[in-house]
Amino acid sequence: MEKESLKAPAKNIAKLIMLIITTLSLIGSIFHIYIAYSTSISVIQQRVFHVFLLIIVYYLYQFKGGLEKNKKYSVLFALVAFITLIVGTYFLMNTSIQAMLKRGIGGASELDILMGVVLIILVLDVTRRTVGFALTVISGIFMIYALFGPHMPEIIAHKGYDIPYITNYITWTMEGIFGTTIGASVSFVALYIIFGELLEKFGAGKFFIDIAYALTGRMKGGPAEASVVSSALMGSINGSAVANVVTTGTFTIPLMKKVGYKPDFAGAVEAVASTGGQLLPPVMGAAAFVMADITGISYANIVIAAIIPGILYYLSLGVSVYLEADKLGLDAESKESLPKLKQVIKEGWYYALPIVMLIVALLGLKLSANYSAIFAIAVLLVVGCIKCIVKEKRFPILEIKESLVNAVKTTIPVAMACACAGIVIGIVSMTGIGVKFTSIVFKLSGGNLFLMLLMIMFACIIMGMGLPSTAAYIIAATIGVPPLIQAGITPIAANMFVFYFAIMSFITPPVAISAYAAAGIANSSAGKTGLQAFVLGLSGFIIPFVYVYNPALLIIESSAGSTIYIAVLTTIAIVMMAIAISGWFINRIPVILRIAFVASAILMFIQGNRIFDFLGLACGVATFIITILNSRKNKIKQAKEI
């Protein structure tokens, strides 16, 4: 009885905390929409408010969860939230332009340093809890490197910095936590998360999945092809690989298993399809916005550059899925069991309107990424409200409120990854390790571009393992882009190369995060699913090398003829690689023909010599003909044996 009486006040306090969280979250979402078109708040104060609001909301969520589970230590989270409020208020009061200039000339006070140290601890703690240990450990290693520079190996040694200097640089300038990475989170990421949450709450997720099944259900292995299409549609909006796996995989993976795909293959298809959503316009996830902010390349140009590589990635996966279905002898879904395309479009066409308007705003009207987001959100709100009023005779106040609240919760791990990665960028800037790394890469590669690309590819994948895509790209770009640019690669191609492989770490063992999430849904081995995902995505690993050697694939600053030529050639080569990896085309392919397909593709991938292009094409066509003839011969032989 006494235990029950203790629970009642705790539940009441939990309700009060949830009310505070809701209020703060609504304020946060409205704040992000407001600053998209208003300049009344300085850039540094926008970033300070953004970081501290999210940290406070996070600890309040933890406090509420602890109360509901009757954990005694939950009050500590409330205490930390209160400390965060005090530190955040101090930062807001002391980050005016005048105060920043004064601190830059005279140095930070002892109280400034204390507050800065507390901020670093808070950022590292929330990052550890929401993102994982990997990024926290990496940030810690970089800070140790800054502190003990003189004691490092000669090739990376520097003069070393004391704790007050490091703290001042990381927390009281716009070179660290409050640098360009958190700037992208404030200005762009939060808005597109709001857009994605509203789209999901208004029911667009089901519409995308139904469209995918209506389009692909009659193909061999329909559910797997539907997984590819629906994950591409959803992923290009929410830009989160793991979230995409969970959202679409819950529907697609059981259906893939039902029609005859092995659990590990079903999970792998979903993992690869969901990961690719970050490579496909129009949204592409937080990392693309960070790229725009860091490089100064307009987000519209990044979207344009990503179109053909994104399509090629999904083409490769789609071909692999089709070949696997043919190999297993899987039939198409019955027409009666599939949603009718006309009916799906008739009932949900309006869900496509905000996305179309977003593309028009970005590419047609040439609006900035934040103005385009505001425009798309406005269209979505109008469409969602009309839908609810006309169909359900009510105003969707609950959907709007939940979307704005969920948006802040969803933003927390992304923002903390950006803040934590800002620590790494600050240390790189402070110590000059980026210049040293460029020198090391040139020495080890001997100036050979292909070797340099391989080294940076492996570095991006390794650094990206276990990290969210935003942090993976930021750290990889900080280290990997300068040597590529120095080697003569265009900034857009260099950044897209690093971005691509930072994303591919999600399906690369041993830490294939997307594959492991999909394995949980598929009830399959995480190791087997991760390996299968890597194999399915293998053709996609070649695409970045193509656009580094021939930037025409990125469309930007290229003639239409060059872009079409290289796109067609790469498409043929990608299909050949998919066939070679699958080992199946109509029938099982002998090893010698698989090698011939790979050789043909490699010849077409070699840039700068049309002779290789035509030689590869001729070799590929000949291999196709031989494969078809060989398959027919095998079928006749099998028929005679029967």
- Can you tell me the distance from the alpha carbon of 424 to that of 290, in angstroms, rounded to the nearest whole number? 15
Residue 226 one-letter amino acid: A
Kindly report the pTM of this predicted structure.
0.85
HEC per residue, 140-181: HHHHHHHHCHHHCCHHHCCCCCCHHHHHHHHHCCCCCCCCHH
Residues in the chain: 642
Tell which wins on pLDDT, 102 or 460: 460
pLDDT > 70 fraction of the chain, expressed in percent and rounded = 95
- Can you tell me the distance from the alpha carbon of 498 to that of 525, in angstroms, rounded to the nearest whole number? 29
Tell me the CA distances in angstroms from 581 to 457, 540, 541, one per residue in order: 21, 12, 13
Q: Phi and psi at residue 557, in whole multiples of 5°?
A: 55, 45
- pLDDT score of 53: 97
**Tokens linked to 77:** 């989270």
Q: Are 416 and 397 in contact (CB under 8 A)?
A: no
- Can you tell me the distance from the alpha carbon of 50 to that of 42, in angstroms, rounded to the nearest whole number? 12
Q: What is the mean pLDDT of residues 418-428?
A: 93
Give, to the nearest 10 degrees, the angle between helix 286-295 and helix 397-431.
Answer: 50
Does 71 score more than 80 pLDDT?
no
Q: Are 252 and 499 in contact (CB under 8 A)?
A: no
Instruction: Give the count of beta carbons closer than 10 Å to the beta carbon of residue 356.
Output: 12
pLDDT digits (tens, 9 = 90+) for 294-347: 888 888 899 999 999 999 999 999 999 889 888 888 877 777 777 888 888 988
Cα angle value 448/451/453 (rounded, 5°): 105
Token pair 């005694």: residue: 72
What 164-167 contacts at long range (C-beta under 8 Å, 24+ apart), as own/partner pairs, is: 164/107, 164/108, 164/113, 166/427, 166/430, 167/108, 167/113, 167/116, 167/117, 167/120
Confidence class of residue 3 from pLDDT cuts 50, 70 and 90? very low
**Tokens linked to 346:** 């008739």
Chain centroid offset of residue 559 CA: 30
Burial label, 638 (beta-carbon count in 10 A; 0-12, 13-18, 19+): exposed
Q: What is the mean pLDDT of residues 512-526?
A: 89
Tell which wins on pLDDT, 613 or 494: 494
Q: Are 325 and 221 in contact (CB under 8 A)?
A: yes
Chain centroid offset of residue 482 CA: 22
Q: Are 330 and 221 in contact (CB under 8 A)?
A: yes
pLDDT digits (tens, 9 = 90+) for 464-493: 887 888 888 998 898 899 999 999 999 999
Highest mean pLDDT among 36-40, 120-124, 254-258: 120-124
- Can you tell me the distance from the alpha carbon of 123 to that of 19, in angstroms, rounded to the nearest whole number? 24
Closest by CA to 509, choosing from 538, 481, 546, is 538
- pLDDT score of 238: 64
Residue 173 one-letter amino acid: T
Q: Show Cβ contacts of residue 527 under 8 Å, excluding neighbours closer than 6 positions.
A: 509
Does 97 score more than 60 pLDDT?
yes
- pLDDT score of 12: 84
- Can you tell me the distance from the alpha carbon of 533 to that of 242, in angstroms, rounded to the nearest whole number? 14
Does 167 score more than 90 pLDDT?
yes
- pLDDT score of 245: 87
Q: Is 588 helix (H, G, I), strand (E, B) or coil?
A: strand
Q: Is 90 helix (H, G, I), strand (E, B) or coil?
A: helix
**Tokens linked to 611:** 């002779």
- pLDDT score of 629: 85
User: Between the CA atoms of 537, 542, 544 and 546, what dihedral angle is there, to the nearest 10 degrees?
Assistant: -150
pLDDT digits (tens, 9 = 90+) for 175-222: 899 998 999 999 988 999 999 899 989 988 888 888 888 888 777 777
Average pLDDT score over the chain:
88
Does 638 score more than 70 pLDDT?
no
- Can you tell me the distance from the alpha carbon of 163 to that of 147, in angstroms, rounded to the nearest whole number? 7
- pLDDT score of 548: 92
Closest by CA to 332, choosing from 254, 224, 221, 214, is 221
Helices (H), 432-468: 433-445, 449-464
- Can you tell me the distance from the alpha carbon of 501 to that of 495, in angstroms, rounded to the nearest whole number? 10
Residue 264 one-letter amino acid: D
Token pair 């716009």: residue: 174
- pLDDT score of 557: 75
Instruction: Give the count of beta carbons closer than 10 Å to the beta carbon of residue 89.
Output: 12
- Can you tell me the distance from the alpha carbon of 31 to that of 49, in angstroms, rounded to the nearest whole number? 9
Confidence class of residue 639 from pLDDT cuts 50, 70 and 90? low
- pLDDT score of 2: 43
- Can you tell me the distance from the alpha carbon of 38 to that of 36, in angstroms, rounded to the nearest whole number? 6
For residue 188, give the DSSP letter.
I
Tell me the CA distances in angstroms from 203 to 228, 388, 421, one per residue in order: 20, 11, 34
**Tokens linked to 360:** 């028009």
Q: Phi and psi at residue 588, in whole multiples of 5°?
A: -65, 135
pLDDT digits (tens, 9 = 90+) for 237-290: 666 778 788 878 888 888 888 888 899 999 999 999 988 888 888 878 778 888
Q: What is the mean pLDDT of residues 502-512?
A: 87
Q: Are 600 and 576 in contact (CB under 8 A)?
A: yes
